[in-house]
Structure 1
Amino acid sequence: MYPIVKQFHVILVIISIAFFQIRYWRFQVMGKPSQTWLKILPHGIDTLLLLTGLWVAIISGFTPMNSPWLMVKLLALLVYIGFGALAMKKSGGLQFFSYLLASLTVIYMISVAMNKAIWPF
């Protein structure tokens, strides 16, 4: 069961990142009008992503207490959410800077998950 749930989680990570990129570039940079489904669908995907992540952690026995890398990844998730929200709501230089930091935070989270290390570089 673990490989299937983990693979589904990874697929959701890719979809979630793709939606963040599409939404940012489409709405903030190109100025295209918002489409309702592009506002709602990412929340559903991110909810499934969080649930599958929890499921993977339960199956594998990882907890934030016995796996420091998981605690750091969860904290980085909160940072990503914050920067992502700023990137979608603010304008000008702060908007792009927030987008850039959100994107770098995602890269960091992926590296942490793949290497199971707090400083994976």
Structure 2
Amino acid sequence: MSYAALKMIHVTSVVISYLLFSLRSMWKMQDSAALQQRWVKITPHVVDTILLVSAIALAIRIQQDPVHDSWLSAKVIGLLFYIGLGMTALKFGKTRKGRISAWIAAQLVFLYIVLVAVTKNPAVFFLAA
């Protein structure tokens, strides 16, 4: 598979994953019964699997790894924070305020991950300084 095709799959799955997280978060904040639909429980896992597989394939294709490439390390660490915050926002947050705080923090981490991906610089917020 070509680099362009892999990147398109990866970026598309990033967008879909983010939109699904946002939708599920809104439903969670509203205590919506929509969260109980079968597709809502399954689709995010399928999309996130495609996202992860495409990320690994891209890293292999461009011959970069998180051990030697700091921008990729930053993305992986950011992803772990994003997952933890997402789990807090959707499942483990004890209060509505806590879930909303985790959701907002997840948005900031997502932005960081995207900016690192675009700039290939883990210090992306310090570029203007």
When the two structures are superposed, what TM-score results if normalisation uses the length of structure 2? 0.89
Deviations 1:50-90 (A, max 9, x none): 00000000001111122101011101100000000000022
**CA distance in 2 between partners of 1:31 and 1:82 (Å):** 21
For 2:30, the equivalent position in structure 1 comes to 30
Q: Are residues 1:119 and 2:123 paired?
A: yes
Q: RMSD over aligned Cα, in angstroms?
A: 0.9
Deviations 1:84-118 (A, max 9, x none): 00000223211100001111111100000000001
**CA distance in 1 between partners of 2:109 and 2:79 (Å):** 8
When the two structures are superposed, what TM-score results if normalisation uses the length of structure 1? 0.95
Contact 2:10 2:51 in 1 (8 A): yes
Structure 1: segments with no counterpart, 5+ residues: none
Q: Are residues 1:10 and 2:14 paired?
A: no
Give the total of aligned pairs.
120
**CA distance in 2 between partners of 1:112 and 1:46 (Å):** 19
% identical aligned pairs: 33
For 2:65, the equivalent position in structure 1 comes to 63
